[in-house]
Amino acid sequence: MLIIPAIDLIDGKCVRLDQGKADKKTVYSNNPSDIAENFSFAGAKRLHVVDLDGAFKGSPENIKALSAIRKNFKGIIEFGGGIRTFGDIEKILSAGADRIILGTMAYKSHDFVKECINKYGDIFIVGIDAKNGYVAVKGWVETTKIKAVDLACDMEFLGIKKIIFTDIARDGMLKGPNIESLKKMLKSVSIKIISSGGISKIDDIRKIAELKHPAVEGIIIGKALYTGAIDINEVIKCWQNE
């Protein structure tokens, strides 16, 4: 199971937000590329990078930071935040991302998702962020009337092979993952799922691992790595390299 560290970007800095709220921001580093290098040295094979400026404004804003991160991280970089057009995708790929995360556009336009797959192939991951079971978009500031599991089923039908499932209520709060909502998602689709949100300690990782579900590809960890609540070297050794 992949241990996937997260880097969230605002103004080129590495930050974390509580429940995605821009007014609850903590800056952890002015040099995200240094953070990425540390994760690479620890053995992380994949890095989750989110352009929060892009998510809020509707177009990627941290391309320069992505380029710097690419130079320091050896593994696969998945990048999301504000991706609305093919032009956005081209810029992100040129800056070094290996995988593109579609969020708001996956909800807004199934045709766009199909065109993306036809044009670029199997490089897309759909990020499904849930608030009380319903999809949240535009940097989590807007909750839709679409159930997260329904959107996941639609994406699987369109040909998406992988989703990132985030429980917003748990993200950045260090309260542990919502295991029941993850189980519900796992029952709804057969594609790969990366679990995100709320990981606060090693026991949280263990709870997900104990599901022993083949569709769980990995776990994204954010704030707990920056506060020191989780040591990335330890969890990679115990879970990724078990």
- pLDDT (0 to 100) of residue 198: 84
Calculate mean pLDDT across residues 125-148. Answer: 85
- pLDDT (0 to 100) of residue 197: 86
Q: Tell me the per-residue pLDDT of 116-129, one tens digit each, with 9 for 90 and over.
A: 999 999 999 999 98
> Structural domain tally of the chain?
1
- pLDDT (0 to 100) of residue 25: 81
- Under the banding of pLDDT at 50, 70 and 90, the label for residue 142 is confident
- Under the banding of pLDDT at 50, 70 and 90, the label for residue 170 is low
Residues 6+ away with beta carbon under 8 Å from 195: 165, 177, 182, 208, 216, 218, 219, 220
Phi-psi region for residue 140, left (φ > 0), alpha (ψ -120 to 50) or beta?
A: left
- pLDDT (0 to 100) of residue 153: 97
CA dist 109 to 22, 58, 85, 144, Å? 26, 15, 11, 14
Calculate mean pLDDT across residues 34-45. Answer: 97
Residue 180 pairs in a beta bridge with none
Calculate mean pLDDT across residues 119-146. Answer: 87
Residue 44 has pLDDT above 80, yes or no: yes
Q: Which of 53, 88, 129, 204 is catalytic?
A: 129
Distance CA 104, CA 55 (A): 9
- pLDDT (0 to 100) of residue 169: 65
Calculate mean pLDDT across residues 184-192. Answer: 96
Strands 216-221, 142-147: pairing kind: unpaired
Of 178, 228, 177, 222, residue with least CA distance to 52? 222
Residue 235 has pLDDT above 70, yes or no: yes
Distance CA 14, CA 9 (A): 5
Residue 168 has pLDDT above 90, yes or no: no
CATH number of the domain within which 187 lies: 3.20.20.70
Active site residue 8: yes
Residue 175 has pLDDT above 70, yes or no: no
- pLDDT (0 to 100) of residue 19: 61
Token pair for residue 169?
């209520």
- pLDDT (0 to 100) of residue 91: 96
What is the extent of the structural domain holding 78? 2-240
- Under the banding of pLDDT at 50, 70 and 90, the label for residue 167 is confident
- Under the banding of pLDDT at 50, 70 and 90, the label for residue 77 is very high
Active site residue 154: no
Distance CA 107, CA 143 (A): 11
Strands 2-10, 46-51: pairing kind: parallel
**How much is the mean pLDDT over the chain?**
91
Distance CA 170, CA 158 (A): 28
Label residues 126-150 b or e (16+ Cβ within 10 Å = b). bbbbbbeebbbbbbbeebbeebbbe
Residue 64 has pLDDT above 80, yes or no: yes
